[in-house]
Structure 1
Amino acid sequence: MTEPTHEGEAHGGALGSRLNWLRAAVLGANDGIVSTAGLVVGVAGATDDRAALLTAGLAGLLAGSMSMAAGEYVSVSTQRDSELAALAAEKRELREQPDAELEELTEMLQNRGLSREVAHEAAVQLTERDALKAHASVELGIDPDRLTNPWHAAWASFLAFTAGALLPLLAIVLPPAGWRLLVTVVCVLAALTLTGWSSAGLGGAGPRRAILRNVLGGALAMGVTYAAGTLLGVAGV
């Protein structure tokens, strides 16, 4: 009876971790789309020179992807350090006061709906099997075997942002000059519809509001930067 409970928590944690990675990938791609689209559309308002558009788009893509990767690395490293510190403290408590820790685990399992007798038996068996893992899972919500890797997070963020940024960059430089803006706007709004739908699906929410927010936000970003670029172009800046 104890093993299914323990394994169920592990599978639930693994599923939650995968969903978090998927959300991060969708949001990273969304950021790449919006920020790069705003940048290249703004430059397109000032000039139709393909080299200038390509240079600006590539600079934005590299700066954005590196910034996202560095930020994700720092964030996840901080989280991992906190998890390791919590595991070290738990390991020390298990070594210094095993009886108190066993009672604590029993009470936590009892609070989850088990009777006192069953909770105590489950706590004993879990402790004999792997005391640290049992306490980490039940008490801390951490799986010691599945700590988040900051390098994985950084690479995932870098690749997601780059994938999103490539769309507006290619859309602005590949078509003929007269079609660039229209093609870019259409491609970006279509991509934002997809990422809005995906993020809503991952969160279990209705897609309409998420898509509307995404599309309106992207359209506003492109409109503002295009107007600014046009004004600067007219001013000869």
Structure 2
Amino acid sequence: MDALQAHIESHRSHHSGWLRAAVLGANDGLISTGSLVLGMATAHASPATILLTGIAGLAAGALSMAAGEYVSVSSQVDAERADARLEAHALREHPEAELDELAEIYVRRGLDPSLARQVAEQLTAHDDLGTHLRDELGIHDLQRARPVQAGLASALAFTSGALPPVLLAWLWPGTGLAVAIVVSTLILLALLGYLAERVAGGRGLRGALRVLSWGALAMGATALIGHLFGVSLA
């Protein structure tokens, strides 16, 4: 038993759900809020206006991410529940056909027919619905949709990404805010991309370059808009 526990592996794919949401939220918060602050700075807005824009962007973005993720994951939950009801009905009405279907799945995965039938019978006796949801439909406990957790995680991730540009807009003492926003945001984006790929099992550099490229493009676009249409809002 000790040897088995020592051999238990932690697979990268087990973290894919929360990693995707965390990286998406933090990158979105950093890029969108940083770009908003940069656009206002290049439009020669007053410090108070720049700060208010950043705070408004943080609040709106965090709530939008939470609502969007909650609605999206809730739709996934509805689909999973509908599939579970359909599968439960099939198991009640056609148990032999469902058993044959399950055995055929195991045959396609490499078991010989007699062993596949035996495995299907034993797993069906243990948990028929759970077995069919997992092996027929690919619905796993590790990947079950959880709307509330997903919404809160997305809001927190967005807020963590949006805070640096907002704090910089609040604390920066004078001129040069636009340059400071660009430099700090690009550094943080590269760091986020690097860490995300490292956690996923990669080397990190490609992830950093990928996020950095898109972030630079977004910030460049908002800086250009601010420069072209900039007026003093003080």
Larger deviation: 32-41 or 49-58? 49-58
Greater share of helix residues, 1 or 2?
Answer: 1
Whether the 8 Å contact between 2:40 and 2:226 is mirrored in structure 1 is: yes
1:111 aligns with 2:117: no
Whether the 8 Å contact between 2:17 and 2:143 is mirrored in structure 1 is: no
Runs of 5+ unmatched residues, structure 1: 1-7
Separation (CA, whole Å) in 2 of partners of 1:132 and 1:186: 54
Runs of 5+ unmatched residues, structure 2: 1-7
Q: Tell me the secondary structure at the aligned position of residue 214 of structure 2.
A: helix
Match of 2:15 among 15, 18, 23: 18
Following superposition, the deviation at residue 146 of structure 1 comes to 6.1
Identity of aligned residues (%): 46
Following superposition, the deviation at residue 194 of structure 1 comes to 1.3
1:162-190 deviations in Å (ceiling 9; x for gaps):
11011111122212112422322221011
Match of 1:209 among 187, 206, 210: 206
Separation (CA, whole Å) in 2 of partners of 1:100 and 1:167: 58
Match of 2:95 among 82, 95, 98: 98
Separation (CA, whole Å) in 1 of partners of 2:188 and 2:127: 47
1:159 aligns with 2:156: yes
Match of 2:174 among 177, 184, 187: 177
TM-score under structure 2 length normalisation: 0.88
1:83-126 deviations in Å (ceiling 9; x for gaps):
11001100001111111111111111111111112111111110
Separation (CA, whole Å) in 1 of partners of 2:187 and 2:73: 31
Q: Aligned pair count? A: 227
In structure 2, relative to structure 1, the CA distance for the partners of 1:57 and 1:220 (3 Å cut) is: same
TM-score under structure 1 length normalisation: 0.87
Where does residue 129 of structure 1 map in the other structure? 126
Aligned Cα root-mean-square deviation (Å): 2.4
